[in-house]
């Protein structure tokens, strides 16, 4: 299953609302997770089951979608949110990742 993330990168300002999309090449129910990765660090789980916020993750992060189309939204972007975001499908092996979206400061 291939995952296509868009956009590959975006520039935004603190306080902006940001939306990242992830499209699967076939239906994956709601078996999708989102991760945040900062340079030189391991990925951090943000959302699982497409829309469930991982414990400790700020509520400005939200996820939606099912089937083939998914969205990660960051409301009121904070300085610590400038990072790269990946989606991952957990429906079937191999557990593929999207290509990533780098969120940069405008």
Task: List contacts with other proteins (CB under 8 A).
Answer: 31, 33, 35, 37, 41-45, 47-49, 54, 86, 88, 90, 93-100
Of the two residues 15 and 39, which places its CB atom closer to other proteins in the complex? 39
Which of helix, strand or coil describes residue 69? Answer: strand
Non-local CB neighbours of 46 within 8 Å, separated by 6+ positions: 33, 34, 35, 36, 53, 54, 57, 61, 63, 72, 85
CB of 88 to other proteins, least distance (A): 7
CB of 76 to other proteins, least distance (A): 24
Of the two residues 12 and 57, which places its CB atom closer to other proteins in the complex? 57
Q: What is d(CA 19, CA 90) in angstroms, rounded to the nearest whole number? A: 21
Of the two residues 16 and 23, which places its CB atom closer to other proteins in the complex? 23
Q: Of 50, 46, 43, which Cα lies nearest the Cα of 3?
A: 50
Of the two residues 43 and 68, which places its CB atom closer to other proteins in the complex? 43
């Amino acid at each position: 299953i291939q995952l296509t993330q868009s956009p590959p990168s975006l520039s935004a300002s603190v306080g902006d609302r940001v939306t990242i999309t992830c499209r699967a090449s076939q239906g994956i129910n709601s078996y999708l997770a989102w991760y945040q990765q900062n340079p030189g660090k391991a990925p951090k789980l943000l959302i699982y089951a497409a829309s469930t916020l991982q414990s400790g993750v700020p509520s400005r992060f939200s996820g939606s979608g099912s089937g083939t189309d998914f969205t990660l939204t960051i409301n009121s972007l904070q300085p610590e949110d400038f990072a790269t975001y990946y989606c991952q499908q957990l429906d079937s092996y191999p557990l593929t990742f999207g290509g990533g979206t780098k969120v940069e400061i405008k």
